[in-house]
Amino acid sequence: MGIPETIPAPSGSQKKLSLICFSGDFDKLTATFTLATGAAAVGYEVNIFFTFWGLDAIKVKQGHAFVGKGFLGKLFGFMMGGLRNAPVSRLNFLGISPKIFRYLMRKKNVATLEELVEAAKELQVNLYACEMAMHILGLQKSDFVHEVKDVLGVATFLELSEGGRTLFI
Amino acid sequence: MATYQLDITREHCPMTFVKTKIQLSKLNSGDLLEVFLTEGEPLTNVPKSSTEQGYTVLEVSHVKDNIHKVLIQK
């Protein structure tokens, strides 16, 4: 059986895409925000549920910062390093590769990760933070950008994503 | 009613759609947007997604080489 040329959209008034952003890697975050902004721009309702390493992408402080509660929380917050220091998932070369990628993206006129994040906010992509991962890392809603709509658990995310497509990145 | 222009000939996915959508959202009802874009994905999908979102595609015309113009009314 071959792959169909087009996948039928789920029924409902508005098409919907929900992304579970687990990874804090530069390349995977780029994939998340490329899908999110592209889908929002062609009329989809888009939800992104940030959990574990993905939470790093929506912090107010985008560099190395002692964000979080408690010694270990702050230490993890500092080591994760925010969006600005996101490593690539392969061939990171001690953080040199993301800099090369950013250079290539600018040179080839492809949107950088930061531009995609700003576009997602402008297109009113719904950003949600995972309550459980926040609890582990000692993070609060105020540690995130104000565009984060809410702090959710699994049950609410499942309700939000019902009737659409869901991807785990 | 005003006419605006948007050149996305040097943009790549997803910014072709993103810039069109953001520009359209800023217009008043009845305003026109001339989008200059290239063949392939932008030419196929910018008119299609605009129509799907309730905008009116008035004209698609060839400008030069692989550049086309899509006239959209909000």
Q: For residue range A125-155, what is the model confidence (pLDDT) as tens digits?
A: 999 999 999 999 889 999 999 999 999 999 9
Q: Could you read off the pLDDT of B61-74 as tens digits, one per residue?
A: 999 999 999 999 99
Are B20 and B59 in contact by the 8 Å Cβ rule? The answer is: no
Q: What whole-number distance in Å separates Cα of residue A122 and Cα of residue A49? A: 17
Q: Minimal Cα distance from A115: which residue of B?
A: B15
Instruction: Write out the residues of chain B at the interface with chain A, using a CB-CB cutoff of 8 A.
Output: 10-15, 17-18, 20-22, 45, 49, 52-53
- Kindly state whether A142 is in contact with chain B, defined as any CB-CB distance less than 8 angstroms: no
Residues of B with CB below 8 A from A9's CB?
none
pTM for the full model?
A: 0.88
Per-residue pLDDT, A73: 76
CATH number assigned to the domain comprising residue B58: 3.30.110.40
Residues of B with CB below 8 A from A116's CB?
14
Tell me the torsion sign for CA atoms A79, A80, A85, A90. positive
The total of structural domains in chain B comes to 1
Range of the domain at B8: 3-73
pLDDT at A63 over 90: no
* Residue B71: strand pairing partners: B34, B59
Domains defined along chain A, listed by start = 16-168 (3.40.1260.10)
Are B17 and A116 in contact by the 8 Å Cβ rule? The answer is: no
pLDDT at B9 over 80: yes
ipTM above threshold 0.95: no
Average pLDDT for residues A148-166, to the nearest whole number? 96
